[in-house]
Structure 1
Amino acid sequence: MKKIGFLSFGHWTPSPQSQAQSAADVLLQSIDLAVEAERLGVDGAYFRVHHFARQLASPFPLLAAVGARTKKIEIGTGVIDMRYENPHYMAEDAGSADLIAGGRLQLGISRGSPEQVIEGWRHFGHHPADGETDADLARRHAETFLELLSGKGFAQPNPRPMFSNPPGLLRLEPYSEGLRDRIWWGAGTNATAVWAAKLGMNLQSSTLKFDETGEPFHVQQANQIRAFRAAWKDAGHTRTPRVSVSRSIFALVDDRDRAYFGRGEQDGDQFGYIDGPRRAVFGRSYAAEPDVLVEQLKDDEAIAEADTLLLTVPNQLGVAYNAHVLEAILTTVAPALGWR
């Protein structure tokens, strides 16, 4: 069995061809898609976070709204860029959203992706310390966030408070028990996957990673997952970690699907450069008749290694069509591969 969720980047554009022409459209449709996904039996509703872009940004109002409208589906991010985050404020927001959802949050965090603006985190008031890189800044914020989610008191109470305090040092409120175990790190390298394992975070691996061996994307990603699990075991954690991979997968079951995705434009991995001189490998998209998809996906080593699969959705095509995309995977592909 494999958990299956959707991942939405939340694009919007004021174009007649888009079903999401404004930020309001994207936010409201994201909630509606989560409701539809839960009805279909999808396990998770995940949302990407990008700043300074016509895409989903501040995640916690959306996560709280989805939590209030649904009952069972996991609600997550993939990923929150920790260079931009105040860990203390984020801990309060995350605790609130998780309590509203009844403990269903699965928060993916990371160093983030290439940006729309130059050093955008500086506009949010965050600066690397002397000798730090922006990646170091993200990891420092992440470690602080994890410590705050432990629920340990750390702040000296005022001797004359406005309201009475419990004894001892105070923690941030509201506190949601168990959320610390539902934090995921989006790793772009084997080394950051190992680092995440040592800190007791679950692993999210996206549709791209830095090219470390020249092997096919799914092989490198599978090796990253194995390195993560080995590091987790070495760290002595007592719980079983979770691992997700993201894929663009479309079952061509009607003429709409064939018109949108039946051209076979990306049937192999791509290599390129992001954030400077390091080469990255981008995983292929899958779009084919269901029986062909099943045979193709059998060979994807990383999907086989992961316990959770996040399906990227073309959100600008609207809620009804994206629900159709998810239902087609659940009914024609997942059973044949033993995912359901």
Structure 2
Amino acid sequence: MKKLGFLSFGHWSPSQHSQTRSASDVLLQSIDLAVAAEELGLDGAYFRVHHFARQLSAPFPLLAAVGARTSRIEIGTGVIDMRYENPLYMAEDAGAADLIAGGRLQLGISRGSPEQVIEGWRYFGYAPPEGKSDADMARNAAEIFLEVLKGQGFAQPNPRPMFPNPPGLLRLEPHAPGLRERIWWGAGSDATAVWAAKMGMNLQSSTLKDDETGEPFHIQQAKQIRAYREAWKEAGHERTPRVSVSRSIFALVDDRDRAYFGHDGKSQDQIGMIDENTRAIFGRSFAAEPDVLVKQLAEDEAIREADTLLLTVPNQLGVDYNVHAIESILTHVAPALGWR
């Protein structure tokens, strides 16, 4: 059994070919898609976060709205770039959204990827200390975030406060019990996956990672997951961690599917440079008749290793089509692979 969710990048474009022509469209349709996905029996609704782009950015209003409109489905991100975040303010936002959702938040955080502008986090008022990198800054923010989510007091109370205080040091409010164990790290390398395990975070691994061995993407990703689990065991954490991977998967069951994605049937892994120093491997897309898809996906080592699979959705094609695409996977593919 696997948990299955969708992952939306939340693109919008004024193009006449897009069903999401404004930021309002993509936000409202994201809520509608989450509601529909819950009705289909999907386990998770996850949203990507990008700044300075015609995509979803500020996640917590959306997560809270989805939480208020649904009752069962997990709600998460994949991922929030911690280079742009004040970890204390973020903990308050996350706590509020999780309480609205009844403890269903699954927050993916990370160092982030190259963004739309050069060093965009500087416009948000953040910069790494002398001698440190933006990746160091992101990991430090993550460590602070994880610490304050524990709900322990750390702030000295005012002796003459506006309102009465409880005894002792004060914590951030609202506090969401259990949220600390529902934080995921989006790891782009084996080393950051091991670090995430030591920090007690769940693991998110997407369709892009550092090309560290030259092997096919799914094999490298499976090795990353195994290294993460070994590091988790060595760290001595008591709970069982969760691991997700994301894939673009489309079952071709009608003419619309074939028109949109029939050309993706021969997709292969790709190699590229995501910055001057990092060679990355990008995982292939899957688009085929259901019986072919089942055979292809059964050979994916990383999917076998993960307990959660996030299906990336083409949100600009609209809610109705994405509901159809998700239902096709649930009906024609998931049972044959033992996911349902």
TM-score (normalised: structure 1): 0.99
Question: 1:77 corresponds to which residue?
Answer: 77
Q: Distance in 1 between matches of 2:275 and 2:80?
A: 18
Deviations 1:67-103 (A, max 9, x none): 0000000000000000000001000000000000000
1:203-242 to 2 correspondences below 5 Å: 203-242=203-242
Deviations 1:173-217 (A, max 9, x none): 000000000000000000000000000000000000000000000
Q: Distance in 2 between matches of 1:58 and 1:283?
A: 27
CA shift at 1:276, angstroms? 1.5
Question: 2:299 corresponds to which residue?
Answer: 299
Question: 1:170 corresponds to which residue?
Answer: 170
CA root-mean-square deviation: 0.6
Question: 1:43 corresponds to which residue?
Answer: 43
Question: 2:138 corresponds to which residue?
Answer: 138
CA shift at 1:265, angstroms? 6.2
Q: Distance in 2 between matches of 1:202 and 1:272?
A: 27
Q: Distance in 1 between matches of 2:266 and 2:202?
A: 29
1:257-336 to 2 correspondences below 5 Å: 257-264=257-264, 266-336=266-336
Q: Secondary structure at the match of 2:5?
A: strand
Q: Secondary structure at the match of 2:79?
A: strand
Q: Secondary structure at the match of 1:264?
A: helix
Q: Secondary structure at the match of 2:78?
A: strand
Deviations 1:200-244 (A, max 9, x none): 000000000000000000000000000000000000000000000
Q: Distance in 1 between matches of 2:236 and 2:208?
A: 29
Q: Distance in 2 between matches of 1:43 and 1:239?
A: 21
Q: Distance in 1 between matches of 2:8 and 2:264?
A: 22
Q: Secondary structure at the match of 2:162?
A: coil
Is the contact between residue 74 and residue 104 of structure 2 (CA under 8 Å) also seen in structure 1? Answer: yes
Q: Distance in 2 between matches of 1:278 and 1:308?
A: 27
Q: Distance in 2 between matches of 1:227 and 1:176?
A: 30
Residue 88 of structure 1 pairs with residue 88 of structure 2:
yes
Q: Distance in 1 between matches of 2:20 and 2:140?
A: 36
CA shift at 1:20, angstroms? 0.1
CA shift at 1:275, angstroms? 1.7
Question: 1:68 corresponds to which residue?
Answer: 68
Aligned-residue sequence identity (percent) comes to 80
Measured at CA, do residues 266 and 274 of structure 1 come closer, stay the same or move farther in structure 2, by a change above 3 Å?
A: farther
Question: 1:31 corresponds to which residue?
Answer: 31
Q: Distance in 2 between matches of 1:291 and 1:6?
A: 21
Question: 1:339 corresponds to which residue?
Answer: 339
TM-score (normalised: structure 2): 0.99
CA shift at 1:9, angstroms? 0.1
Is the contact between residue 127 and residue 137 of structure 2 (CA under 8 Å) also seen in structure 1? Answer: yes
CA shift at 1:171, angstroms? 0.2
Q: Distance in 1 between matches of 2:204 and 2:266?
A: 23
Q: Distance in 2 between matches of 1:264 and 1:52?
A: 29
CA shift at 1:129, angstroms? 0.5
Equivalent position amino acid for 1:260 in 2: Y
1:237-256 to 2 correspondences below 5 Å: 237-256=237-256
Deviations 1:93-130 (A, max 9, x none): 00000000000000000000111001000111111001
Q: Distance in 2 between matches of 1:264 and 1:287?
A: 6
Stretches of structure 2 that go unaligned for 5 or more consecutive residues are: none
Is the contact between residue 265 and residue 287 of structure 2 (CA under 8 Å) also seen in structure 1? Answer: no
